[in-house]
């Protein structure tokens, strides 16, 4: 995604009244959720929506801010947003399903499925495995196109990039480290996984996700939009904060990786997905255990995920009340979303913010910390 944890840091390192509303029956957990959404909004984030699902299935929802800075309309309680890198969990789930069916192996090399595609500037697809792509330990340098100024956004927002072209950008760089000898977040690794899924099945990865994950779970509000620059309604407008006086509505854009990043969803659907995955409804026990085998993330991403570890398309983070939870946040086109689910799949939470404050390290970290606190409070509740 254009604003992965790595990209968020790179972005920084490299008017209408704001309305507040909430939805759900009054209760202490709901009150805490509302306070946490308002704390995020107070940072300057234009709109926030959050949903928590309890073990008994009851849901609490809270919103804060506005969906549109021009009109002041309220944030929809279950509005669409770009899923961004949370879709990596979808890709990983399909890959592990294929592994369970014997149609590929986690030890297969990139070159086995995509001969000679990764062979330049010290990159060698004969040494990189499917597991390493899933876990961001391949060493492939990440070089997705992206925007860091309003001018770049307006120039690039409707550009369409082919998957092999995106891979070519990445392998024009030397690898960050030898395969398996480090960790660095790489969107390009998941571009390669989408190509491998297509080679293994004869169908695009997005179609496999629809057939294998979304349709069986009835997630009819999680949709692949391809190269459409618009979202279904209702949705909050998405904003990118580039600095003082540079808050731009970036809702209208084509995701840079249309195969992996063109998914939209809702807090309701994302909660259902996470609960189903961790409850074992999508993967056999062995493959789910593989997904949860983690390695430490690098020091840069540790700033955003203290104590965080990365599995196969799934992140493990510690809980303040003890134990840990599973998640995969996403950020693209102004939307930043954090989520979490307990290990048994019984309690989950999702918070979607319709503004990315990506201009300074302090803004990035404050937004990440406030959203992480909401998830922690919801899961510890």
pLDDT, average across residues 336-342: 98
First to last CA, the chain: 31
pLDDT at 29: 65
By the 10 Å C-beta count (0-12 exposed, 13-18 middle, 19+ buried), 246 is classed as: exposed
Measure the CA–CA gap between 327 and 348, rounded to whole angstroms. Answer: 9
Phi first, then psi: give them for residue 258, nearest 5 degrees: -65, -20
Measure the CA–CA gap between 300 and 255, rounded to whole angstroms. Answer: 25
CB atoms within 10 A of CB 149: 13
Measure the CA–CA gap between 237 and 47, rounded to whole angstroms. Answer: 9
Domain range list for the chain: 5-380
What is the pLDDT confidence band of residue 243, given thresholds at 50, 70 and 90? confident
pLDDT, average across residues 217-227: 97
Element (H, E) at 330: strand 330-332
Q: Answer whether residue 220 shows pLDDT above 50.
A: yes
Q: Answer whether residue 4 shows pLDDT above 60.
A: no
Q: What is the pTM of this model?
A: 0.92
Over the chain, what is the mean pLDDT?
92
pLDDT at 25: 35
Q: What's the CATH fold of domain 5-380?
A: Beta-lactamase (3.40.710)
Q: Answer whether residue 18 shows pLDDT above 50.
A: no
pLDDT one-digit tens code per residue, 73-130: 999 999 999 999 999 999 999 999 999 999 999 999 999 999 999 999 999 999 999 9
pLDDT one-digit tens code per residue, 254-307: 999 989 899 999 999 999 999 999 999 999 999 999 999 999 999 999 999 999
Comparing 170 with 21, which gets the higher pLDDT? 170
Q: Which long-range contacts (CB under 8 A, 24 or more apart) does 122-127 make?
A: 122/174, 122/175, 123/170, 123/171, 123/174, 123/175, 124/179, 127/178, 127/179
Measure the CA–CA gap between 268 and 210, rounded to whole angstroms. Answer: 17
pLDDT at 23: 38
| 236 contact partners, CB below 8 Å, separation of at least 6 | 46, 47, 49, 66, 67, 68, 75, 76, 79, 81, 354
pLDDT at 30: 72
Q: Answer whether residue 222 shows pLDDT above 50.
A: yes
Beta strands at 223-224 and 59-65: parallel, antiparallel or unpaired: unpaired
In the chain, % of residues over pLDDT 90:
88
pLDDT one-digit tens code per residue, 150-196: 999 999 999 999 999 999 999 999 999 999 999 999 999 999 999 99
What is the pLDDT confidence band of residue 19, given thresholds at 50, 70 and 90? very low
């Amino acid at each position: 995604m254009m604003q992965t944890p790595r990209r968020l840091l790179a972005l920084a390192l490299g008017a209408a009244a704001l309305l507040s509303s909430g939805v759900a029956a009054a209760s202490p957990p709901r009150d805490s959720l509302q306070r946490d959404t308002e704390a995020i909004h107070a940072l300057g984030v234009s709109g926030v929506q959050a949903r928590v699902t309890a073990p008994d299935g009851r849901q609490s929802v809270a919103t804060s801010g506005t969906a549109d800075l021009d009109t002041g309309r309220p944030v929809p309680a279950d509005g669409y947003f770009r899923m961004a890198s949370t879709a990596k969990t979808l890709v990983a789930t399909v890959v592990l399903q294929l592994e369970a069916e014997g149609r590929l192996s986690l030890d297969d090399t990139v070159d086995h499925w995509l001969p000679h595609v990764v062979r330049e500037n010290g990159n060698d697809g004969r040494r990189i495995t499917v597991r390493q792509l899933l876990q961001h330990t391949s060493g492939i340098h990440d070089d997705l196109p992206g925007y860091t100024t309003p001018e770049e956004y307006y120039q690039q927002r409707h550009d369409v990039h082919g998957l092999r072209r995106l891979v070519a950008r990445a392998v024009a760089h030397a690898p960050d480290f030898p395969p398996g000898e480090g960790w660095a977040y790489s969107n390009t690794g998941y571009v390669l996984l989408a190509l491998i899924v297509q080679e293994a099945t004869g169908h695009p990865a997005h179609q496999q996700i629809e057939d294998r994950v979304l349709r069986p779970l009835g997630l009819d509000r999680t949709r692949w939009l391809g190269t459409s620059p618009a979202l279904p309604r209702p949705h909050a407008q998405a904003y990118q904060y580039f600095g003082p006086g540079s808050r731009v509505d970036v809702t209208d854009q084509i995701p840079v990786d249309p195969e992996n990043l063109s998914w939209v969803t809702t807090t309701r659907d994302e909660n259902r997905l996470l609960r189903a995955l961790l409850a074992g409804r999508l993967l056999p026990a062995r493959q789910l255990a593989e997904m949860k085998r983690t390695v430490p993330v690098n020091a840069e991403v540790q700033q955003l995920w203290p104590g965080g570890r990365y599995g196969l398309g799934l992140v493990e983070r510690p809980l303040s009340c003890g134990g840990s939870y599973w998640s995969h946040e996403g950020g693209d086109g102004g939307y930043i979303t954090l989520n979490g689910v307990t290990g048994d799949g019984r309690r989950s939470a999702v918070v979607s913010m319709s503004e990315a404050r990506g201009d300074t390290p302090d803004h990035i970290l404050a937004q990440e910390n406030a959203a992480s606190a909401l998830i922690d409070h919801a899961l510890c509740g």
